[in-house]
Amino acid sequence: MRILFSVVACLLFSQVYAQDCSNTFKGKVVDLHDNTVLVGATVILAGLEQAVLTNINGEFTFSNLCIKDYTFQVSHPFCSTKAYTIKVNGDTNKTFYLEHHLEELNEVALSGKAFNSLTKTANESVIKKETIDNFSSKSLADLLESVSGVTKLSTGNSISKPIINGLHSSRVVIINDGSRLKDQDWGIEHAPNLDVNSISRVTVIKGANALRYSGDAVGGLIITESNKIPVKDTIYGSTILSLHSNGKGGTVSSNLTQSFESGVFASVQGTLKRFGDFNSPDYNLSNTGFFERDVSLKFGLNKFSYGVTGSYSYFKNSVGILRASHLGGASDQIAAISSPKPLFIDDFTYAINNPKQEVTHQVYRLNAFKKLNKLGKLNVQYNYQKNKRLEFDIRRGDQENVASVDLELSSHNVLLDLETKLNSTGDYLKYGVSLSYQNNYANPETGVRRLIPDYDAFEASVYGVYSANLNDKLTFEFGSRLDYRNIDALKFYRISFWESRNYDVLFPHLVVQEYDNQILTNPNLTFVNLSGATGLEFKIDDFQTLKLNYGLASRAPNPSELFSEGLHHSASRIELGDLSFKPEISHKIAFNYERKGETLAFNFNPFIQFVNRFKVLEPTSVEQTTRGNFQVWSYRETNAKLYGLDIDVTYKPLKNLEINQQFAVVKGYDDSNKPLISLPPVALNNTINYTIKKLKQLKLTLQNNYVFEQNEFPNTNFDVFVPTTQTFQTVDLSTPPSAYFLTNFKVSMPLNLSNNQTLNVGLFVDNVFNISYRNYLNRFRYYADDLGRNISIQIKFNY
């Protein structure tokens, strides 16, 4: 019996051993992002103590395997080690994907590199977190002035918006964490509703080249990004506290982030800013304080091949409007413009009285991505934005606390796109579609004529961008975008205005109903715009690069340009739009030469731009109303040409000494060769940084800014009748202020408290010599000087 059992057992075991142990397993290890092969990756076959390295093609082989499940451990420098269980059933092939450059893994929101790859041939400037923190108490426009060719258009000291190469407002598109900011940007005194403390990186693109988000950025794009969140178990944050002498206020901003190796993360950030009246060197600027409070939340799951993020942000700002800018009659206007001091000066206060603005902006955002084999990275995004804008004028009686302008703008946007790597040399194709719906509600209970009407707007867009590395030195890029936009509005017009514009002949079909002295109309306007960009990048060597770029931008007229007909209270003027406007068409050619070096680096960026049907808003007259005399500003179309030059030079004669020099000039003219209004004057900025390493990296910064007098400007003066003198006098709105020279100083020192905690203490002095000056691009230059000396202390604690 024993003999029989032994024979059977031997037969069975021999059958097992003979059946399947001559199989081959071949594999390949590639980068999850772009399918490039990973040479020298280690592949370990668990249990058999066998290990191999991938060859020059990223391939490896294991022989003499049986038919069963095996576990393979795959690793590579800068990659997260991963384990795979594979069933070997005959000769088997498998491709393993690793997350390469793990230390650069970004949050689910698109990283700055995604934007860079869209604009390889365009001029870009990047502002990093260290610089952003220095502007914790200031606005986005203040921060962006550190980029050559970028200035700001101001309404006093607390309301400012960026100007890129002479263009601003709707012509400059702001992308905040992947979403286009939609916040009533048409007014010159409408600042971007964005807290600079919520961002860690800003990219400025001078031209309409990031076609993924916009084809109407005639001036350029500003792309802001929040912090990168690592995929590991950690908790960290920072707090910035700053106190200021001018305005007797300060800012506190704090953030905290928790992340896990599983990819789960959450972060919260908040900011509080409070200032009272600011002052010029010689007097108080009454009713110029502001109170800002912001909060943002973000949470999600970030894996190598997929991820999802949800976020919410809340921005609320109450801003006082210089009391001396709101005047009663023509004689007051003439007196204010000719007076060296404001006609109204009161004692310092933290109170924010009428006239003022109150703006609330909320953003709800949901992002998701999935990396698909061979197809690439699929991105889906939805965001909802709600903007509430209130403008309070000086009113009496029961309407004292009723807003004169009460607008609520709701925006929905869906974006779907795909990024496909075409080969291992870096060629790619990006394409996608976006849909958006927008509703504007103008509250009729304000007691005054609504400046902007109720409207619904629908947009549909499709875009594609192709980039190819023609060889080791030359990169070619081409992109196009098609935008469809429809605006369906309900607008009341005064019959006298309707007929004076000849609208009764041009647009009789728009009339819905007639009343005694006004009519209700229903403009339904459709615009189809084609935009594009193409360019070349040539790498001369490791230090020098040439770029040549052409951009075509098409911008549909915004509701303000089309429908304005009334008093814009916070601007203190009457604005008149034109219903017959057509889209702007911009052609911009830009050249860029960049040299990078440890001792000397510079960037040379000339451009020329032609804009057909350019919309110009300029003063045309003064109108007497029951509430006083107000300037009348009217929109008109013209063919404009702009050209300019931006230069950046950085020189490091010593390791601890750095000298930066910036120069920017832009000129612009209409079709009659008349200078365009509100173009920035020539500016020359110099910054010297000196680091004393023996004193714990003490850093000294001296900044000198020279702004030339604007020598080319349109003549927008006009005569008004002054009842008190029974004469006509000239209102001078044209003559620019004199040139000025400002000096700023900063000293800062980082302190290491522990391995994970640092403290940075800084002292800032703006306008060191307390110079009295007026900025040509400040709308309140007619009534008061700009800010005097400001001494501030900033403490930043990282933990």
With cut-offs at 50, 70 and 90, classify the pLDDT of residue 19.
low
pLDDT in tens, 249-286: 999 999 999 999 899 999 999 999 999 999 999 999 99
User: What does the alpha-carbon distance between residue 136 and residue 133 come to, in Å, rounded to a whole number?
Assistant: 5
With 70 as the cut, is the pLDDT of residue 20 above it? no
pLDDT in tens, 427-485: 889 999 999 999 999 999 888 888 899 999 999 999 999 999 999 899 999 999 999 99
pTM of the entire predicted model: 0.87
Judged by DSSP in three states, 77 sits in coil
At a CB cut-off of 8 Å and minimum separation 6, what does 427 contact?
A: 421, 467, 468, 469
With cut-offs at 50, 70 and 90, classify the pLDDT of residue 571.
low
Of 315, 326, 276, residue with least CA distance to 158: 276
With cut-offs at 50, 70 and 90, classify the pLDDT of residue 110.
very low
Q: What is the pLDDT of residue 106?
A: 38
How many residues are present in the chain?
799
Cβ(352)–Cβ(296) below 8 Å: no
Buried b vs exposed e over 416-429: b needs ≥16 C-beta within 10 Å?
ebebbbeeeeebbe
Of 784, 671, 644, residue with least CA distance to 286: 784
The amino acid at 613: R
Cβ(64)–Cβ(31) below 8 Å: no
The amino acid at 315: F
What is the topology classification, in CATH, of domain 2-100?
Immunoglobulin-like (2.60.40)
Name the CATH code of domain 225-798 (choices 3.40.50.720, 2.40.170.20, 3.40.630.10, 3.40.50.1100). 2.40.170.20
Q: What is the pLDDT of residue 46?
A: 83
Write out the two tokens for 165. 């190469």
Judged by DSSP in three states, 664 sits in strand
What values do phi and psi take at 374, rounded to 5? 70, -35
What values do phi and psi take at 30, rounded to 5? -135, 165
Cβ(567)–Cβ(451) below 8 Å: yes
Of 707, 704, 715, 662, residue with least CA distance to 680: 707
Q: pLDDT: is 121 or 35 the higher one?
A: 121
Average pLDDT, the chain: 89
User: What does the alpha-carbon distance between residue 750 and residue 180 come to, in Å, rounded to a whole number?
Assistant: 36
Q: What is the pLDDT of residue 368?
A: 96
At a CB cut-off of 8 Å and minimum separation 6, what does 12 contact?
A: none
∠ CA 617-618-619, rounded to 5° = 140
Write out the two tokens for 340. 């060296």
- Environment class of residue 38 by beta-carbon count within 10 Å: exposed (0-12), middle (13-18) or buried (19+)? buried
Residue 118 exposure: Cα atoms within 13 Å on the Cβ side: 30
User: What does the alpha-carbon distance between residue 206 and residue 125 come to, in Å, rounded to a whole number?
Assistant: 9
Write out the two tokens for 108. 């689910």
What values do phi and psi take at 360, rounded to 5? -125, 130
Cβ(774)–Cβ(785) below 8 Å: yes
Q: What is the pLDDT of residue 112?
A: 32
Q: What is the pLDDT of residue 199?
A: 94
Of 314, 440, 310, 298, residue with least CA distance to 382: 310
Judged by DSSP in three states, 40 sits in coil
Write out the two tokens for 132. 């952003």
With 60 as the cut, is the pLDDT of residue 107 above it? no
Write out the two tokens for 224. 């802001």
- For the chain, which residues make up each domain, given as ranges? 2-100, 225-798
Write out the two tokens for 487. 């605006």
